[in-house]
Structure 1
Amino acid sequence: MKIILLTHQRELDRKSNTGQLVLDVMGLAARQVIWDRVNPDETLLSLIEQTKVGLLFPESETDEKEVGGQPRQVCIDESNKAALAEFEYLIIIDATWQEARKIYNRSVYLRALTKVSLSHSMKSSFRLRRNQIDGGLCTAECVGLLLSYSDQMQLTNKLMRKWQCFNSNHSQ
């Protein structure tokens, strides 16, 4: 599984952006694409056409469940983590929740993707941003869960150590 961070332009200058941690830890298994409403990234559009790409996005944030009888939402937890293997790439919108909703609503190519949500009991320890959704995790926490569900424990541990250090340094 590879991660594509679809990053809002404003995130590039935010000290509270955790997507950079993901890029640092995952190396070539993660890449960043800057979101552009008018000119979507051609490489991203090509990947979506040619491979199995899912969008990590909370179930409660979308109403669409099925199109043509096909499931439009996959909820991943410890009991069905093998379902992640169906995706070669997962797109994660790297932005505030308000910006992520706008990106989703303004990007037709994202709305056509199978939504992947995470079922977890983990409470976010991210306190650097206001207006978080209930149960919402930051980018690094989401990827940490995905890595653990994919049994990539070495990467999971490395990312979570970086995340904890980042969070404690920025929350003071």
Structure 2
Amino acid sequence: MEHAVSRLRAARLAASAKPFVARGSGGGRCARCRVVHSHCVCAWTPRVSTRAGVCLIMGDIEALKPSNTGWLVADVVRDTWAFGWARTVVDPGLLALLADPQWQPYVVFPGEFVAPERVVTGLLPVPPAPPGRKPLFVLLDGTWTEARKMFRKSPYLNHLPVLSLHPEQVASHYRLRRFSREGHFCTAEVASMCLALAQDVSAADALVAWLDVFTAHYLSAKRGLPLDRTSEAHQRLQALGGDVAVNP
């Protein structure tokens, strides 16, 4: 199933002067889940309804990386948009989304780097947002260096409240890349925290479980290890109740 990040990836590939070949792609990757065919994870993709939306502003080649977890957010959250970031050009669709009256955008970024008057730690109240507007979480998807640059050099975000998360009691489970900053979380983990704040608890849980299952498939393929489809992560994803439907 096509989604916002897969469409952005296709557009980025079409605009590239030379093909992008990710490391470890020799065995061929599934076009849908980006994992090598022998460890394809598509059958485990969760489906869940959400009230909140997610807007991903992505670094230049982020959508091309098989390890990108913004892709996983788009798998789970139906109302996900993805836009490539450039310093001098802004996608008109991004500006239209941020101005859409059905949404209340929040830029998700650490509060210590932001003027205190812009920082919020919860979704309500955020004057002058009228009642009924749905939360739209704007996530800067890239390395920490890229995210800071995007935050500083995107003046169209300057009028928006900044949601500062404080997950002191939570440890990141992300194992696909090394973090350059202590206490850092991957995009899917941040999105899950945001969904939990928005009371989209089923979606928050599904996204964490989906990240764990994707990671298991991805690393098993990368390291040439057998895949345990009865693992705790797989069982947790399959056992999610409510309106989550997993297709193993």
Bin the TM-score by the shorter chain. Answer: 0.7 to 0.9
- Give CA deviations for 1:15-53 in whole Å, capped at 9, x if unaligned: 2200000001112x2111111222101122133345432
- Listed as ranges, the matches of 1:159-170 within 5 Å are 159-170=207-218
Partner Cα separation in structure 2 for residue 106 and residue 5 of structure 1: 16
Query: Which position in structure 2 is the counterpart of 1:43?
Result: 93
Q: TM-score, normalised by structure 1?
A: 0.82
Identity %: 29
* Offset at residue 157 of structure 1 (A): 2.4
Task: Supply the distance in 2 between the matched residues of 1:167 and 1:107 (Cα, whole angstroms).
Answer: 32
Matched, 1:31 2:31: no
C-alpha deviation, 1:103, in angstroms: 1.0
Q: 1:143 aligns with which of 181, 191, 195?
A: 191
2:146: which partner in 1?
99
More strand by share: 1
Cα-to-partner distance string for 1:134-163 (whole Å, 9 max, x where unaligned)? 222111001111222222222122211110
Shift of 1:96: 1.0
The CA distance in 2 between the partners of 1:108 and 1:15, in whole Å, is 30
After TM superposition, the structure 1 = structure 2 runs for residues 60-99 of structure 1, keeping only pairs within 5 Å, are 60=112, 62-66=113-117, 72-76=118-122, 82-83=124-125, 88-99=135-146
SS of 1:124's partner is coil
Partner of 2:202: 154
Aligned twin of 1:55: 107
- Greater Cα offset, 98-107 or 50-59: 50-59
For structure 1, the residue ranges without an aligned partner over 5 or more in a row are 67-71
TM-score, reference length from structure 2: 0.59
Please tell me the root mean square deviation across aligned C-alpha atoms, in Å.
2.2
Residue type at the aligned position of 2:53: K
Structure in which a larger fraction of residues adopt helix: 1
Alignment pair present for 1:8 and 2:56: no
Q: Distance in 2 between matches of 1:153 and 1:123?
A: 18
- CA separation of 1:55/1:107 partners in 2, compared to 1, >3 Å: closer, same or farther? same
Distance 1:103 1:143 in 2: 18
4+ residue runs over 4 A deviation: 81-87
Conserved 8 A contact 1:82-1:150: no
Which one of 119, 137, 157 corresponds to residue 166 of structure 2? 119
Q: Which runs of 5 or more residues in structure 2 are unaligned?
A: 1-51, 127-131, 224-248
